[in-house]
A and B are shown apart, each in its own frame.
Chain A
Amino acid sequence: MGESGITKIAKNIKKLLVYQPERLPDPFVLDENQGDGKTAKEPPVALKGVRELESMLRYARRLAIFMEKTIEILRNGQRPDKAELLQIEYTALEQQQGELSAIKLSYNSTEAVEPAISTSLEENQKVIEDLYNLPLNKDVVIRKLTIPGQPAVKAMLIFMDGLADKKVVNMTVLNPLMMMRNARPELYSADLVNIIIEQYLPSGQASRVGSFKEVQQGINTGDAVLFFDGIGEAVTVETKGFEHRGVDRPATEQSVRGAQNAFTEVLRVNTALIRSMLHSSDLVTEMIPVGKRGHTNCAVMYLASIANRNLVAEVRRRIQGISTDLIIDSGILEHLIVDFPSNPFPQTLSTERPDRVVEHLVEGRVGILLDGSPFGHIVPITIFTLMHSADDFSLHYYYTNMLRMIRWIGGFMSMLLPGIYLAISTFHQEAMPTELLLSITAARAQVPFPTIFEILIMELAFELIREGGLRIPGILGSTIGIVGAIILGQAAVTAKIVSPIMVIVIAVTGLASYSIPDYRLASAFRLFRWIFVLLALAMGLVGMACGFAVFTAVLCSMKSFGAPYLAPIAPKTTPGGDIILRKASHMQQRRPDELNPQDDIRQSAVSRPWTEEPSIGGDEL
């Protein structure tokens, strides 16, 4: 019965007059997982073992179908080739039964058992679907195909859309396998996987794999994986074809005369860049996958006849011993493998230049490259290595040495200058020449703040400009940085917030910090600058001297992959000719002693034997 008009009006009036709370959707609260992370990831008890149970059911179903088929063939008395087919299917079922024992074990046990590649395509598909959350996940492509043969082989191709090049997949996998109608080989009669790899896959890299771990590694890195019915193995085919940046000029390690190419984000491109510079069969590239949740390939490169074997083993041990979810950057990798991760001083040489990696590999060091990172690591290193720049190798050594001295002076200035100024101006004014002291005093007379406050303000402003300049896009960043610094400095002096001498001190310190070739070393010096300022504030030059002594002791106690950080100066070892200063290339006979390479000698004492030979040009002029 419909409502009467009066009732409707009464209802509407009531709705209008009586307050009704606003209807809001239930708020979403991101609660913590119940219990610890481990249990949260496990399936509920009721579902435990469902996958194994399903596998067994599928086997039972397949067995039932097979039996029905057999009965039918026997009743009808069909051709002998059908019997051959039955034989193949029977073998596959036998193998699957063998696999069931592991599944049963997994079903009965409380711990998860790593699934093995099954002889059943259906089983393998199920595992892949579980691993990649299919059909929710749209990136993974499963392509089923039948390879013509005697009998035909059912197969399944899996690859990651976007990572694998579809053209390559078509050309090197699908085409050759599906277009062999004329041949119709007896694939099951021999080693099927071997025949497929050797005769039918025209890919540069195709290999057989026996576990889902390897299958996942292949799929996740852009390879295509082929499964065959009745075969408990798979084949990975290289079909990588994801988009990536091309080889470009170095962004942070520019060189005037050196090589002009830099690493990219693709590991194989990077290893190839190194190989293209170091044509040696002695160069070894080991691939170590790291990360539990996402496997990232890490390449360890060394010259087998030069690098210390213990060093290589230690690098391998440390990388293999990493237990973390994912490593996406070489900086994270560094923290996971160095001896003193909490020390701000870099313990690896991080470079984007293949030529620098090559230079160090030849000295007996080990290179570490990570997939996805355009920076490689070189280990072990000393603090002196960090003060070398890419151009050092291509310029005349006199000029190189002059530049290196400037860098060292710059390094010390960037760390100590504000502290020294603070110490002298606060505690040891007598050390300043009288005229200079009077000029500083006059400049500071109208500044109402103590020197330490001036330093802190200016340092903070400088760091702000530096950080802001980095974030502002394009060339605008550097322009704003320069203009900002000038305007800010001028305005601060005019406003009598800081004295002109302080602007000079901070500007010189900032410039000096840019003279350090390694960005991380420069950052460490910048950090220590604050400490030295505080030490100078507390105890003047005495505080700075104490701080410097401790600073030196800390550096002396550090090691980078077993090599002392201040070698060959402390401890004193045989120098290789390239420490603070660099000898001419023909005079660098030995490799760095602290690396303990297998072969100490880099070149013979007479590396220019032509100087001892008679000149072709005849007698002297």
Chain B
Amino acid sequence: MKAYHVGKMGIAEGIALVFGLVIPHLFLSRLADVIQENGQLSWLTMSFYTVISLVVLFMMVYVIHSVPGDFVTVCQQLVGNLGAWLIVIVYICLFFANSSLLLRQYAEYTLITALPKVNFQLVIVWYALTTGIMCYLGIEALCRTGYILLPFMAGGLMLVCVMVSPFYVAYNLTPWQGNGIQVAVQSGIKGVGFNIGVLSLVFLSSAFQNGKTIKKIALYALGGSLVLRITFMLVYTMVFGVAIGSEKVMPFFELARLVYINQYIQRIEALFIVVWVFIGLLAIASSLYIGLYLITVLLKLPTMRPIVPLGVMAIAQFSMLPPDIGYTIYVDRLMLQVSQVGIYLFPGILFIMALVKKRRKKPCADS
């Protein structure tokens, strides 16, 4: 057994992995972007993200089951060596970029919300070290940690939504058309990169029992995250409205700040820091692990653990490159667009090639 062998994971672990990769943007400024773009109809955009990413995943499941082997072998069989290298390197870059950008954004928000006097580099190093240890322990431990912490994270999120109920203004959900259905659909198609993390199930397919399990995981994880996102988005819109809501860069924190039950339970946003730290850590660690795993498979390395510190150092350095949070958000938006290559182009090519290959394959009796 190779040291980077992904082990045997079940539905629960898979859900935690996907959930951890797709949900953290809920706490970041991308949510405000979606609201700004689509107004009250943001839920439709989110639904499109989910439906399209599910279709893409189903296509990829077909691809990996039409050719035996790991993801790199599948790509090599379908698009040749050069094509496989190109595809895998792009995915590595996407996951590394995601990891770095999340690291930077979470570090920035930590500084703003919880530890204003702490040195910025220290926070980056702290998060990077933590995620490095989690990666080092392996994907099984990572996913199981996510699975254990998931109820607390989702519960914390829902608790905030319930506790700000006195601030609900139902009229903020009108006009229900938002900025128009067409805009929502277009935005939904363009922003599917939001859910690129679901493809991790394809990369780690050998860890799961079969294609049916992967599809089930995707369905549960994306469905669950969609419910959570829509609930949060509706609550957020009801509380802040579209105009104010689209200006805020830390939606969850802003919502938590409003909690006021009585004079003893107020200003408890600090306690919810724990929730988004968990989600951030899992997302950064999962992205980093997928990137490192793809490198290991691509270079046919015997083990992954020695490159974990290198990966950690790389994402820490990359995350410190943007001069400020504004530029980081800008790069993040850019990466969302670039992610479309990974969510539309490559799966499309691989799917077509798999179909073609299947048609070309003649029965044994004919040959």
Report A's interface with B, CB cutoff 8 A.
424, 427-428, 430-431, 433-436, 538-546, 548-550, 552-554, 556-557, 566, 569-572
Contacts and interface: CB of A to CB of B under 8 A. Distances in A.
A431 B256 CA distance: 12
Given A542-B115, A543-B126, A570-B12, 17 more contacts: A427-B114, A428-B271, A428-B273, A430-B269, A431-B267, A540-B115, A546-B277, A548-B274, A553-B133, A556-B137, A556-B144, A557-B137, A557-B141, A571-B12, A571-B144, A572-B10, A572-B147
Given A424-B270, A428-B270, A553-B142, A569 B264 contact: no
B271 A570 contact: no
A57 B278 CA distance: 80
A295 to B, nearest CB: 36
B145 interface: yes
Contacts of B281: 545-546, 549
A550 B114 contact: no
B299 interface: no
Lowest 9 CB-CB distances: which A-B pairs, in order? A570-B144, A428-B270, A557-B141, A545-B277, A556-B144, A431-B270, A433-B264, A556-B141, A546-B130
Nearest to B264: A433
B365 interface: no
B118 interface: yes
B133 A550 contact: yes
A552 B268 CA distance: 24
A549 B149 contact: yes
A168 B201 CA distance: 71
A545 B267 contact: no
A553 B141 contact: yes
B263 interface: yes
Contacts of B10: 571-572
B55 to A, nearest CB: 28
A542 B148 CA distance: 18
A556 B115 contact: no
A541 B270 contact: yes
B13 interface: yes
B134 A550 contact: yes
A433 B114 CA distance: 17
B270 A552 contact: no
Nearest to B271: A431
A549 B271 contact: no
Contacts of A556: 137, 140-141, 144-145, 148
A616 to B, nearest CB: 48
A545 B274 CA distance: 5
A386 B12 CA distance: 24
B268 A431 contact: yes
Contacts of A569: 148
Contacts of B130: 546, 549-550
A376 to B, nearest CB: 30
A551 to B, nearest CB: 9
Nearest to B275: A545
B265 interface: yes
Interface string B43-69: 000000000000000000000000000
Q: What DSSP secondary structure best describes chain A's contact surface? A: helix
A552 B269 CA distance: 24
A231 to B, nearest CB: 53
A249 B48 CA distance: 67
B110 interface: yes
Contacts of A428: 114, 270-271, 273
B270 A554 contact: no
Interface of B: 9-13, 110, 114-115, 118, 123, 126-127, 130, 133-134, 137-138, 140-142, 144-145, 147-149, 263-271, 273-274, 277-278, 281-282
Nearest to A546: B130
A538 to B, nearest CB: 8
Contact of B263 (A424, A433, A541): A433
Nearest to A552: B145
B264 A552 contact: no
B358 to A, nearest CB: 35
Contacts of A435: 263-264
B264 A427 contact: no
A438 B121 CA distance: 34
A556 B264 CA distance: 37
B233 to A, nearest CB: 25
Contacts of B11: 572
Contacts of B134: 549-550, 553
Contact of B114 (A434, A436, A540, A570): A540
A424 B269 CA distance: 12
Nearest to B132: A550
Contacts of A543: 126
9 contacts: A539-B118, A541-B271, A542-B126, A545-B277, A549-B281, A549-B282, A553-B144, A570-B12, A571-B140
Contacts of B147: 570, 572
Nearest to B276: A545
A571 B274 contact: no
A572 B9 CA distance: 10
B145 A549 contact: yes
A543 B277 CA distance: 9
Contacts of A542: 110, 114-115, 123, 126, 273, 277
A417 to B, nearest CB: 15
A572 B12 contact: yes
Please indicate which of the listed interface residues A436, A542, A552 has the most CB atoms of chain B within 10 Å of its own CB.
A542
A181 to B, nearest CB: 71
Contacts of B277: 541-542, 545-546, 549
A424 B263 CA distance: 18
A610 B226 CA distance: 50
Contacts of A557: 137-138, 140-141
Contacts of B126: 538-539, 542-543, 546
Contacts of B278: 545, 549
A540 B126 CA distance: 12
A539 B107 CA distance: 12
B275 to A, nearest CB: 8
Nearest to A429: B270
Given A431-B268, A433-B265, A542-B114, A566 B148 contact: yes
Please indicate which of the listed interface residues B110, B271, B274 has the most CB atoms of chain A within 10 Å of its own CB.
B274
A445 B112 CA distance: 28
B135 to A, nearest CB: 9
Contacts of A424: 270
Contacts of B266: 433
A356 to B, nearest CB: 27
A538 B114 CA distance: 12
Please indicate which of the listed interface residues A427, A545, A548 has the most CB atoms of chain B within 10 Å of its own CB.
A545
B121 to A, nearest CB: 13
Nearest to B274: A545
Given A539-B126, A540-B114, A541-B114, A554 B274 contact: no
Contact of A430 (B137, B142, B267): B267
A554 B137 contact: yes
A434 B265 CA distance: 10
Contact of A570 (B148, B264, B273): B148
A543 B130 CA distance: 10
A541 B156 CA distance: 15
A435 B263 CA distance: 9
A428 B272 CA distance: 11
Contacts of B114: 427-428, 540-542
Contacts of A538: 126
A540 B271 CA distance: 11
A556 B114 CA distance: 28
A431 B257 CA distance: 11
Nearest to B267: A430
Nearest to B142: A553
Nearest to B257: A430
A433 B282 CA distance: 31
B270 A545 contact: no
A530 to B, nearest CB: 18
B78 to A, nearest CB: 33
Contacts of B265: 433
